[in-house]
Amino acid sequence: MEAYLLEWVALLLRWTHVVVAIAWIGASFYFVFLDNNLTPPIDDVLKSKGVTGELWAVHGGGFYNPQKYLPAPPTLPAHMHWFYWESYATWLSGFALYTVVYLFNASTFLVDKRVYDWSSGGAAALASIGFLLAFWLVYDALCRTLGQKKNGDALVGAGVLAAVVLGSALACHVFAGRAAFVLVGAMMATAMSANVLVWIIPGQRTVIAQHKAEQAVDPIHGWRGKQRSVHNTYFTLPVLVAMLSNHYGWLSGAPHNWALLVALMLAGALVRHSFVARHQALLKGRRVPWEFAAVGVGLIAAVVVALAPAPQAPASATEPPPSFAQVQAVVTQRCVVCHNAQLANKGVMLDTPQGISQHAQAIYQQAVVLQAMPMNNATGITPQERALLGRWFADGAKGP
């Protein structure tokens, strides 16, 4: 019953996490688009109000005219909408989900003794939390020390790239592949949410306080908030691919998995840059720099080629398909340790012929196609055994 209830908790947390993440990413994408499409106002009335940029848009049968005041309007409105709970809810639901799935089961999901033999699951769990804090501290230090220098954006970008590469390599060398991919995404997502919590929202509150006190508004707060917001939008696609790719064992468990992950995340950042630059290019009548996206697609193609399985000789037409006894022997040795009447992970029991036949589709998908099972390949299933299961399923998954 406890395992069943935890599965429901995980489902509801994952659902919540996806919903609030959509809201946060949508807001991030929209405001980056808005900033890159604002034009100086033509109306003298708007100029006199301090409007520095405006945009006309049509949506849902109506017309919208967003206007930006920098650093602040002459008179603050009574009611303002704040965009921060989208960020906080995304991080809180994500960390809660990470706790339920990974920290509560650290010995199973975080530890792969073939990668690194931790003294205990608790030590691995604490170290994984350290990754989240360490990346934020490094990233924030880079922004504070290099962000305002000449060519600061390039310097910070290079430093962040180096930190991501180092963090990915280290995570994939001390944690199970699937957990390492999630952890790399989580450490970057933590920095994104910390940007909102530590700099963006406090900066906006300071601007409002200075305005109400009739003090000169320090432009550094607006500049810093814009800097961190732009960083967040570049982190978005790398975080998403890190989180999603952990579901594919052939990727997270591949040799040099950290390099593959870095390549995919870099591809996401390059694609995102093309769209950000597209907004500016269209506004100014310039050519859209799609070459960044092309390089990103090229990186994805390189990963596809690098992971392509070696061609296998077709089975002889006279070779009989594997018998159910052969299939049951593989399942008993590699799968039953976690899927039995006493420990029915995911509600799947494979310790009887009926259970194997009932879950043939799941066996094929998880062990052959996705190669996500056995978890972290803890039981050492071989490529030949996966191929045997695949031939059995292709032959109709016949029972005894």
Least confident of 3-7, 201-205, 244-248, 313-317: 313-317
pLDDT for res 319: 64
Residue 257 makes CB contacts below 8 A (sequence gap 6+) with: 172, 177, 180, 181, 251
Give residue 157's Cα distance to chain centre.
19
pLDDT at 200 over 90: yes
pLDDT at 317 over 60: no
Torsions phi, psi for 295 (to 5 deg) = -65, -40
Average pLDDT over residues 123-145: 96
pLDDT for res 315: 55
pLDDT for res 313: 58
pLDDT at 12 over 90: yes
- Assigned token pair, 274: 């093309």
Average pLDDT over residues 211-225: 88
How large a percentage of the chain has pLDDT more than 70? Answer: 96
pLDDT for res 38: 93
- 3-state SS class at 86: helix
pTM of the model: 0.84
| Higher-scoring residue by pLDDT: 273, 78 | 273
The CA distance from 274 to 286, in Å, is: 13
pLDDT at 316 over 60: no
pLDDT at 241 over 70: yes
Residue 375 DSSP symbol:
G
* Cα atoms in the 13 Å half-sphere on the side-chain side of 9: 15
